[in-house]
């Protein structure tokens, strides 16, 4: 399965429930932690990045293959009891990667294209150009976190309205988002769903997830992990999305995909991102 993630990579400085560390970050990075454990997942990340990212790239398949910026965007995240504060630095280099050459070939070959911005810089026209190169059967998935983010004069991440939603969401088979992304997610999703064939997956933390479309509404619960056992919740939504998208590509079954993604995301709460690289997850063994 050839998977292409067009998004933003970061350098993250994280302080969470029981951990503090600096590492590669961004949605594509956390999704990679799952995809590299799954059979047959050929995963490539498309993002601008700086020379300072070289020490973090490890086993990542990145395009462009060489740094394009002086500094990689950097996030400072503090997470505790389900709440997070964030600052963002070096945001000048967050423009989309030009479509053409090798990237055009990657798009044409992809079985799945994930769009995962962390800054609201992917215009509807850019996405239309991307999908104009993709095969009709390619599975298209949006994680719209970046469309919900703006920045104040002190580099704090603040909420933004997803003003591009009506022009963007219909381009995708799935939009996977958190109930915490906006102030009226359920109301917004119901409205967007009436205007397209897109399915929306809403992650709800301890309550699991929901799948909503113009004619579907499914709640998929999870057995919540006790808060005292949570080691690190950073990236859990991205891990859910990686697991859901892969399982759905294999089965085209919404219920199976939601249950699988809930289980993987729940188990990953027991580890820091670095620990995840070296642990065999019980929840993934059902795929073998």
Give the pLDDT confidence score for residue 244 in this predicted structure. 98
The b/e string for 7-30 (b: 16+ C-beta within 10 A; e otherwise) is bbbbbbbbebbebeeebbbbbbbb
Backbone angles phi, psi at 157, to 5 degrees: -80, 125
Please tell me the distance from the alpha carbon of residue 90 to that of residue 24, in angstroms, as a whole number: 15
| Domain boundaries 2-287, corresponding CATH code | 3.40.1190.20
Sheet strands side by side (includes 112-116): 62-63, 42-46, 2-7, 112-116, 139-142, 174-178, 199-203, 209-212, 217-220
Give the pLDDT confidence score for residue 9 in this predicted structure. 96
The b/e string for 143-163 (b: 16+ C-beta within 10 A; e otherwise) is bbbbbbbebeeeeebeebebe
Give the pLDDT confidence score for residue 201 in this predicted structure. 98
Structural domain boundaries of the chain?
2-287
Helix (H) or strand (E) holding 34: helix 27-35
Give the pLDDT confidence score for residue 17 in this predicted structure. 67
Give the pLDDT confidence score for residue 215 in this predicted structure. 94
Collect all residues with Cβ–Cβ distance below 8 Å to 187 and sequence separation of at least 6: none
Give the pLDDT confidence score for residue 20 in this predicted structure. 83
pLDDT in tens, 203-216: 999 999 999 999 99
DSSP conformation letters of 149-203: EEE-TT-BEEE---TTHHHHGGG-SEEEEETTSSTTHHHHHHHHHTTSS-EEEEE
Per-block average pLDDT, block size 10, for the chain (288 residues)? Answer: 97 80 91 93 97 92 95 87 82 90 96 97 97 97 96 94 96 96 93 95 96 96 90 88 97 97 95 87 83
Give the pLDDT confidence score for residue 26 in this predicted structure. 92
Give the pLDDT confidence score for residue 196 in this predicted structure. 92
Stated pTM of the model: 0.93
Reported in sequence order, the residue ranges of 37-169 that DSSP labels E, i.e. its strands, are: 42-46, 62-63, 74-80, 83-89, 112-116, 139-142, 149-151, 157-159
Please tell me the distance from the alpha carbon of residue 19 to that of residue 145, in angstroms, as a whole number: 23
- Which pair of structure tokens corresponds to residue 1? 């399965």
What is the Cα gyration radius of the chain? 18
- Burial group, residue 64, by CB count within 10 angstroms (0-12, 13-18, 19+): middle
């Amino acid at each position: 399965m050839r998977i292409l993630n067009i998004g933003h990579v970061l350098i993250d400085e994280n302080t969470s429930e029981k951990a503090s560390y600096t590492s590669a970050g961004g949605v594509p990075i956390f999704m990679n932690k799952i995809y590299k454990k799954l059979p047959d997942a050929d995963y490539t990340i498309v993002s601008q990045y700086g020379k300072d990212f070289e020490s973090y790239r490890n086993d990542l398949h990145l395009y462009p293959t060489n740094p394009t910026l002086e500094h990689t965007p950097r996030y400072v995240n503090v997470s505790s009891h389900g709440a997070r504060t964030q600052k963002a630095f070096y945001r000048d280099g967050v423009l989309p990667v030009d479509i053409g050459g090798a990237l055009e070939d990657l798009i044409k070959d992809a079985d799945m294209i994930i769009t995962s911005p962390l800054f609201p810089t992917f215009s509807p026209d850019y996405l239309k150009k991307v999908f104009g190169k993709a095969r009709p059967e390619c599975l298209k998935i949006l994680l719209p976190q970046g469309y919900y983010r703006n920045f104040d004069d002190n580099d704090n991440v603040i909420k933004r309205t997803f003003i591009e939603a009506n022009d963007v969401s219909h381009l995708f088979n799935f939009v996977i988002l958190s109930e915490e992304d906006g102030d009226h997610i359920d109301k917004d999703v119901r409205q967007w769903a009436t205007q397209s064939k897109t399915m929306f997956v809403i992650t709800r933390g301890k309550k699991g997830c929901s799948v909503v479309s113009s004619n579907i509404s499914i709640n998929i619960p999870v057995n919540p992990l006790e808060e005292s056992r949570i080691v690190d919740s950073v990236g859990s939504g991205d891990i859910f999305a990686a697991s859901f998208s892969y399982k759905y590509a294999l089965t085209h079954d919404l219920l199976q995909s939601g249950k699988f993604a809930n289980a993987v995301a729940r188990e990953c709460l027991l580890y820091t991102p670095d620990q995840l690289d070296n642990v065999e997850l019980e929840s993934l063994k059902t795929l073998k």
